[in-house]
Structure 1
Amino acid sequence: MLATTLATTFVPGTNLKGDVVGANWSFLLPGRELERTVCTGLPPSATLATLASISREVIVVCASARQIQKVSTTGHEHGLKNLHPSVVNDRLGLQLPDDSADLVVITGGSRGWQFARDRAMVATVRRVLKPEGLIYFEFGWPVGWLLGARALDSFREEFAPIQLFWLSPLRGEMHTAVPLDDRQTISYFVDHGLASQSINLRPLQSAGRLLGRHRQMRQQPPGERLARAPETRRNPARQVLRSVTRIASTGLFSALERAERTLTRVQPFNRLTRRTGVLVGGVEIDGPPHYLRAIAREADINIDDHRWGLSAPSEFSSRKLLFFLFGPASESPEYIVKLTRDPVLNPRLENEYQALALLQARGVGDSETLPQPLFLGYHSNLAIVGETAIKGTPFRQRTQATADCPYAHAAIDWLIELGATTVDGIGATPKQVVETLRVLFDRFVQIYQLAPAHSDFLAEQITAIGRTPKAFPLVFQHGDPGTWNVLVTRSGRVAFLDWEAAEPQGMPLWDLFYFLRSYSIGTGRARGIRNRLEGFTQQFLAESPLSSLVVDSVARYLKRTGLPTELVEPLFYTCWMHRALKEATRLVATTLEYGHYVSLLRLCIDQRSSPTLCHLFSLQQSVELEQPSSRISAHVTVRE
C-alpha cells in the first residue's frame, strides 16, 4: 500500500526550480562511460560536475590562476576528487600519455575556431586523443557561426567524421538537440513547443511584480505589510499592473516566438540565428546514440534507422530527458525513451516501467490511450525506459474549460474506470490504512507547521478511517493525473502519461480529486483568475456548474468501486496532505508555509462548510454496485 510514497524521502529544497545538472549535450555521445576527459577553457560548474560523474578523470586546462581556483572550488563544493586543473602552458598536459583521452571539450563560442588555428594544439590533441575519441564544441550566432564554419573546415582536414546538431536555446544550457540535417524533426520540435525559446521575458514580468509589490507596501500601514500570506495578498493597483504587464509581455513573447519559428525554417537566416553542436572524430553513426540502440536491441527492438531528437527540460532536476524516435518516413514519434539525470531518480523510472507493464498485463487501456512499455535498461548508472509514443494533442489545448467539456468528462470517465477495473475490495484493513497514513502524517507535521486546530482535524480524519467496519478497497493509482499529463488522441479519446508516481496499491479517489483540482484551477484561469487558491475556491468549493460535476463524478466513482461514503471526507483531506509532502522538495524553508498544497489543505479545512464539500460529505451510498469493465476506453466523439 502506497509503496512508492513510503519509499520516497521528502526533503525540502532537494528539487528546486532551475537547480539541474549540466552538460545535457553529453547524452549525444555514443556512450557516457569515459576514462579521461580534457577540457580547454573553463566550463560552467554544472558541466564540470556532470563530466566528473561520467569520467574517471577530468583535466581542465586553465588560462590563469583564477581559473585554477574556480576549478578547485567546484571540485570541493561537489566533492569531485577526479577533477584536476592544469595550466595552459602545459599544452594540454604534455605529460599525458598518447591515446589516453576519450573526450576533449572546447568551451567558449569562438574557441573552436581559435583551437583550429593553433596547429601545435591540434597536434597535441591528435596525440592524446584515442583513435575512437571525440572532440565537442559549439558555435552560435552570428559571429560564432562565421568563425565556427571556418573551424569545421579545419577539423575536417584533421579529424573525421563530423556530426552537427541543431541546439536550443541560443545560449546557456542546452535543452534540445536534433541532427542538423533533419529538418523534419527540427520542425516537429519547433511546432510542438519542444524547442526552448531564446528570448526570456521573465525579467520584464519580475519587474512588474516588484513594482506592484512596492506600490502595495507603500499603501499599507507598516504593521500590516506582512500580515497576509503571499498567495492571498490583494491590491487593486498591483493586480492592474500585473495584468497589463502580463498582457504586454505575452503579446511580445508570442510575436518573438513566431519570429523565431520562422527564422528557424527560412534560409539563409536559420544559419545566422542558430546554435550548433559539433562532435568530431570517433566512428560515423547515423541514428540514435549507440548506448540507446544497444539497450533497445536487447529487447529485440531495432531503432538504428530511426530519426531522433533530444529534449532536456530545464525546470527541475527530477524532469526526465526524452529521446523522441521517429520512423524513417514518420511525421510523429513512434517511441519515447526516458532517461534520468541522476541515479537517485532511477526508482521513479523503474516504477513507471513496472506500472505500465502491470496495466498491460491486466488489460487496462490500449495502445491509443496508454504508453506501452518496451524496455528498461541502464547506462552510466542511469535508468533508461522505452515506451510507445501516444499520438495526440495536449489536453490544455483542446479543453473548453467548462463543466460541459467533453474531454474533461472523458478524463474523469477514464479515472473512474481505472478505479473500477483495478479495485481490490479487500485490499487492506482499516487499521493498516490508518497506520500507513499516520506515517505520512508524522512526516507532514515534521515539515509543515499547522495550527493546532488544523493538525487535530487532520489527525481525526485519519482516525475516522479506522472506524470503518468494512475492509478498505485499494486501487491502481496514477499518482500525478494533472491536466498537463493528459493528451486528447486523434479519435477524441484521452490518454494519461507519466506513470512514474504510480501506486499499484493506491488510495481510491485521490486521482479523481487531483484531476478535478487541476481542472478547476484551469477553468478559473480561463476566466481571468490567476491565483490558484482563488480559482479553486470559486470553481470547486463554491456553488458552480463545475462543483456539480465534482459531486456527480465522486458519486459515480463510489458506485463503480463500492467505496463507502464515510471514506470520502478523510480521503479528500489526506489527498492534499499527500500532495503537500511531494511539493515540499520544491520549496525551501522560507516558502514552506506558503506552499500551494498546504495552503489548499488549510483552505479546505476552513471551508469545510462550503457548498461542494457539504454535498460531497453527505453523499448516500449508491444503490447498486456496477460491475467494472475489463478495458478502459473513455471514448468521446466531438464534432469539430
Structure 2
Amino acid sequence: MRELLGGGSVALLAGSRDPNAKVTAVVMDGPGLRVVKVATTEEAARVVLAEGRLLEELTTRAPEAVRRTLPEVLGYGEVDGLPALITRGIPGTPMLADYHLWRHVARRRRVAADFAAAATWLGLLQSAPTGPTRPVTMAAEAVDRVAAKYRAPDRLAAKLEELAAVELPGTVSHGDYWLGNILVTRGRVTGVVDWEAGEVDGDPLRDVARFALSYALYLHRHTPPGRRVAGHPGLRADGFGPGISHALLGAGWFPALVERFVAGALERLGAPRRLWRAVLLAGLADVVATADDPRFAQDHLDLLDRLCEVTP
C-alpha cells in the first residue's frame, strides 16, 4: 500500500463495510493530485476494474465537453492481491459541501443555481445517443428489480405504466449522479467522480431522478424533528424523506424547481413533460433495487409505498 501511494501527503476520502467495499485516498505529491481507489473484497475488485475500463472507454465515447470533467485513468496497482485504480484528481468542491452550509437549501437562488449546474452538465452528457431507442429501462424493470429484493408496492406498476412505454435512446449514464459525486467551481460543474455504476449505453432518466431525489432527501437534515424546515413553507422534519414527499406533492418554489428540472429533461429527451412524477417514483424504485445498505433501501421502499398511494 505504501509503495502504491508514494511519498506524498495522503488524505483518506472514504471507506465502507459494504459487500463491494473500497478505500479511497487522495495523494498530494506536487502540483497535482492522484486518487487511489483500493478494493477490499473480490466483489469490490470487479467494480474497481469495471470503473477503470468505463472511464477509459469514455475518453472516446463521451461528448467532448464532458471529457474534461472525467477522472483520467493513470494506471492500476495492487494491494494484498486486490486491484487499485489510480486516477488524476479533478478540481472542484463537492456540491454536497455547499449544500450543508448554513441555510443554503433555504435560499431559492442558491438551490436554483445547483439545479441549473446539474442540468447543464446532464444536457452535455446526454447530447449524443450511444444506444438504440427502447422503453425507459428504469420504469419498465422497476417492479421486477424491487421484487427481487423486497416486495414491490401494489400500485407501482400502474403508476409507471405510461413512463415504461416511452421509448428513449440510450446515452452515457453516470448511475449515481448525486451531490457528493458532483464537483463545482464558481457555479459550474468541473468534475463528476465515482463512475462505479456508470454505463456507456444507459437510461438517461436515471441520472435525472437520482439528482432530484438526493437533493430533496436531505432538505430537513439540520432541522429538529417536528419543526418547520426554514425556507420551505409546508415542509416539516417528520419521518424519512419529507423533502421527497414535498417535491412530489407539495406546493412552493422547491417542488416547482424539481418539476421544472425533471420535466425539462423529459422534454429535452423527447418525452412528455407530464410524466415527471413517474420519473421520480421510478427513481425511488431504482434506489431500492441498487442500495447496498438494507436499512437505506427499506426506508426508500416504505416511502415509495406511501407515495404510490397518494401521488396523482
- 1:325 matched to which residue of 2? 27
Contact 1:370 1:497 in 2 (8 A): yes
Report the residue type matching 1:447 in the other structure: K
TM-score, length of structure 2 as denominator length: 0.78
Q: Match of 2:157, SS?
A: helix
Distance 1:551 1:570 in 2: 11
Counterpart of 2:129 in structure 1 is 423
SS in 2 for 1:347: helix
Q: Please show how residues 266-281 of structure 1 align to structure 2 within 5 Å.
A: none
Match for 1:459: what amino acid?
A: A
Aligned counterpart in structure 1 of residue 309 of structure 2, from 606, 610, 619 = 606
Give, in whole Å, the separation in 1 of the partners of 2:75 and 2:149: 37
Q: Which residue is equivalent to 1:154?
A: none
For residues 467 and 582 of structure 1, what CA distance do their matches in structure 2 show? 22
Is structure 2 residue 53 aligned with structure 1 residue 337?
no
Cα distance in 2, alignment partners of residues 466 and 560 from structure 1: 18
Give runs of aligned pairs for residues 42-81 of structure 1, distance below 5 A: none
In the other structure, the counterpart of 2:206 is 510
Match of 1:504, SS state, is strand
Listed one character per residue, the Cα deviations across residues 535-589 of structure 1 (whole Å, up to 9, x for unaligned) are 3223453012111111211232133322345765554333222210122x422xx
Q: How does 1:491-530 map to 2 (within 5 A)?
A: 491-494=186-189, 495-526=191-222, 527=229, 529=237
* Runs of 5+ unmatched residues, structure 2: 223-228, 231-236
* 3-state SS, counterpart of residue 245 of structure 2: helix
Aligned AA (1:427): P
Q: Identify which of 136, 149, 157 aligns with 1:459.
A: 157
Tell me what 2:233 maps to: none
In structure 1, stretches of 5+ residues that fail to align are 1-26, 28-288, 294-303, 610-640
Instruction: Confirm or deny that 1:595 pairs with 2:298.
Output: yes
Residue 413 of structure 1, aligned match among 111, 120, 123: 120
Query: Which residue of 95, 99, 109 corresponds with 1:404?
Result: 109
Match for residue 170 of structure 2 among 471, 474, 477: 474
Equivalent residues in 2 for 1:337-416 (5 A)? 337-361=36-60, 362=62, 363-367=64-68, 369-399=69-99, 400-401=104-105, 402-405=107-110, 406-416=113-123
Which whole-Å CA distance do the structure 2 matches of 1:480 and 1:572 have between them?
14
Q: Are the equivalent residues in 2 in contact too, given 1:308–1:323 (CA < 8 A)?
A: no
User: Which residue is 1:274 aligned to?
Assistant: none
1:85-484 equivalence runs, <5 A: 289-290=2-3, 292=4, 306-309=7-10, 311=12, 313-317=14-18, 318-328=20-30, 330=31, 334-361=33-60, 362=62, 363-367=64-68, 369-399=69-99, 400-401=104-105, 402-405=107-110, 406-419=113-126, 421-424=127-130, 427-430=132-135, 433=137, 437-438=140-141, 441-450=143-152, 454-455=153-154, 457-461=155-159, 463-464=161-162, 467-468=165-166, 471-484=167-180
Matched ranges for 1:5-16 at <5 A: none
Identity %: 22
Q: Which amino acid aligns with 1:458?
A: L
Deviation readout 1:152-182 (Å, 9 max, x if unpaired): xxxxxxxxxxxxxxxxxxxxxxxxxxxxxxx
Partner of residue 562, structure 1: 270
1:204-223 per-residue CA deviation (whole Å, 9 max, x = no partner) reads: xxxxxxxxxxxxxxxxxxxx
Asked if 2 retains the 8 angstrom alpha-carbon contact of 1:403 and 1:549, the reply is no
1:488 & 1:598 partners in 2: Cα distance? 31
Residue aligned with 1:324, SS: strand
CA contact 2:172–2:202 (8 Å) conserved in 1: yes
- CA distance in 2: counterparts of 1:493 and 1:482, whole angstroms: 15
The structure-2 alpha-carbon separation of the partners of 1:307 and 1:476, relative to structure 1 and needing over 3 Å to count, comes to: same
Q: Which of 574, 589, 598 in structure 1 is aligned with 2:282?
A: 574
Tell me which residue corresponds to 1:64: none
Are the counterparts in 2 of residues 479 and 501 from structure 1 also a CA contact under 8 Å? yes
Matches of 2:242 and 2:137, distance apart in 1: 32
Shift of 1:397: 2.7
Q: CA distance change for structure 1 residues 429 and 507 in 2, over 3 Å: closer, same or farther?
A: closer
1:57 corresponds to which residue? none
* 1:448–1:603 CA distance, 2 compared to 1 (3 A): same
- Number of equivalences: 289
Quick check: which has more Rg, 1 or 2?
1
Change (3 A) 1:563 1:579: same
The residue correspondences of 1:30-45 to structure 2 (distance < 5 A) are none
CA RMSD of aligned residues (A): 3.1
Rate the CA distance shift 1:390–1:429 in 2: closer, same or farther, 3 A. Answer: closer
Shift of 1:505: 1.9
Residues 67-94 of structure 1: CA deviation (Å, up to 9, x unaligned): xxxxxxxxxxxxxxxxxxxxxxxxxxxx
The question of whether the paired residues in 2 share the 8 Å contact of 1:412 and 1:553 is answered with yes
Deviation at 1:325, TM superposition (A): 1.9
